[in-house]
Amino acid sequence: MQIFDHTIAALSTPPGKGGVALIRISGRDARAVAERVFHAKSGKSVFALAPRCAVYGDVLFEGEAIDDVLLTVFPAPNSYTGEDTVEITCHGASPIVEAILSALFAAGAMPAAPGEFTRRAFVAGKLSLSEAEAIGELLDAKSLSGVKLFGRDSRHRLSVALSSLYEDVCHLLSSLLAVIDYPDEDLAELSEDEILVRLAEIEARGRRLLATYRTGSAVKDGIPTVLLGKPNTGKSTLYNLLCGREAAIVTEIAGTTRDILEATVPLGRVLLRLSDTAGVRESEDAVERIGVLRSKEAAERASLVFVLFDGARACDAEDEALLSFLDTLSGVKVALLNKSDLASAFDASVLEGHVSHVLPFSAKTGDTTALSALVDRLFTDDSLTIGEDAILFSPRAYAALLRGCEALSRAAEALRATGAVDAALMEAESALAAFAECDGKEVSEDVVSDIFKHFCVGK
Ligand code: GDP
Q: What is the pLDDT of residue 252?
A: 55
Q: Is the pLDDT assigned to residue 1 strictly greater than 60?
A: no
Higher local confidence (pLDDT), 305 or 246 = 305
Q: What is the pLDDT of residue 179?
A: 75
What ligand 1 atom has the least distance to the C-alpha of 230?
Answer: 3
Closest CA to 88 of 42, 48, 31, 45: 31
Query: Is 354 in a helix, a strand, or coil?
Result: coil
Model confidence pLDDT, tens digit, residues 306-340: 999 999 999 999 999 999 999 999 999 999 999 99
Closest residue by Cα to atom 24, ligand 1, is 339
Cβ within 8 Å of residue 103, ≥6 positions away = 36, 37, 59, 60, 61, 62, 66
Q: What is the pLDDT of residue 250?
A: 59
Q: Please, are residues 276 and 236 in contact by the beta-carbon 8 Å criterion?
A: yes
Q: What residues are in contact with ligand 1 under a 6 Å CB criterion?
A: 229, 231-237, 250-252, 256-257, 338-339, 341-342, 362-364
Q: What is the pLDDT of residue 254?
A: 54
Mutate to test the pocket of ligand 1, among 233, 235, 237 (most ligand atoms within 8 A of CB): 237
Q: Is the pLDDT assigned to residue 185 strictly greater than 70?
A: no
Q: What is the pLDDT of residue 83?
A: 96
| Proportion of the chain above pLDDT 70, given as a percent | 91
What ligand 1 atom has the least distance to the C-alpha of 229?
Answer: 3
What ligand 1 atom has the least distance to the C-alpha of 340?
Answer: 23
Q: Is the pLDDT assigned to residue 249 strictly greater than 80?
A: no
Model confidence pLDDT, tens digit, residues 138-147: 998 999 999 9
| Proportion of the chain above pLDDT 90, given as a percent | 75
Q: What is the pLDDT of residue 282?
A: 65
What ligand 1 atom has the least distance to the C-alpha of 251?
Answer: 8
Encode 339-371: b = buried (16+ Cβ within 10 Å), e = exposed. bbeeeeebeeeebeebbeebbbbbbeeeebeeb
Closest CA to 118 of 18, 16, 4, 220: 4
Using the mean position of ligand 1's atoms as its centre, give its distance from the Cα of residue 254 in Å: 10
Model confidence pLDDT, tens digit, residues 167-177: 999 989 888 88
Q: What is the pLDDT of residue 74?
A: 98
Higher local confidence (pLDDT), 432 or 419 = 432
Rg (CA), the chain: 29
Closest CA to 311 of 364, 261, 268, 262: 364
What ligand 1 atom has the least distance to the C-alpha of 254?
Answer: 2
What mean pLDDT comes out for the span 429-434?
Answer: 95
Closest CA to 219 of 158, 176, 169, 164: 158
What ligand 1 atom has the least distance to the C-alpha of 239?
Answer: 7
Tell me the domains of the chain and their CATH numbers.
8-128 (3.30.1360.120), 135-212+392-439 (1.20.120.430), 219-379 (3.40.50.300)
Using the mean position of ligand 1's atoms as its centre, give its distance from the Cα of residue 323 in Å: 20
Q: Is the pLDDT assigned to residue 3 strictly greater than 70?
A: no
Q: Is the pLDDT assigned to residue 76 strictly greater than 70?
A: yes
Mutate to test the pocket of ligand 1, among 227, 228, 230, 232 (most ligand atoms within 8 A of CB): 232
Closest residue by Cα to atom 18, ligand 1, is 234
Using the mean position of ligand 1's atoms as its centre, give its distance from the Cα of residue 367 in Å: 15
Q: Please, are residues 99 and 442 in contact by the beta-carbon 8 Å criterion?
A: no
Model confidence pLDDT, tens digit, residues 348-394: 999 999 999 999 999 999 999 999 999 999 999 999 999 999 999 99
Min mean pLDDT across 3-7, 54-58, 229-233 is at: 3-7
Min mean pLDDT across 110-124, 200-214, 285-299 is at: 285-299
Using the mean position of ligand 1's atoms as its centre, give its distance from the Cα of residue 232 in Å: 6
Q: What is the pLDDT of residue 284?
A: 67
Using the mean position of ligand 1's atoms as its centre, give its distance from the Cα of residue 307 in Å: 14
Q: What is the pLDDT of residue 244?
A: 86
Using the mean position of ligand 1's atoms as its centre, give its distance from the Cα of residue 251 in Å: 8
Cα-based distances in Å from 421 to 131, 164, 193, 416, 429: 35, 23, 12, 10, 12
Calpha distance 325→297 (Å, rounded):
12
Q: What is the pLDDT of residue 395?
A: 94
Q: What is the pLDDT of residue 63?
A: 87
What ligand 1 atom has the least distance to the C-alpha of 279?
Answer: 3
Burial of 311 (0-12, 13-18, 19+ CB in 10 A): buried
The CB density around residue 216, as the number of other CB atoms within 10 Å, is 26
Q: Please, are residues 126 and 368 in contact by the beta-carbon 8 Å criterion?
A: no
Mutate to test the pocket of ligand 1, among 235, 238, 242, 250 (most ligand atoms within 8 A of CB): 250
Closest CA to 102 of 59, 68, 71, 70: 59
What ligand 1 atom has the least distance to the C-alpha of 308?
Answer: 3
Q: What is the pLDDT of residue 296?
A: 83
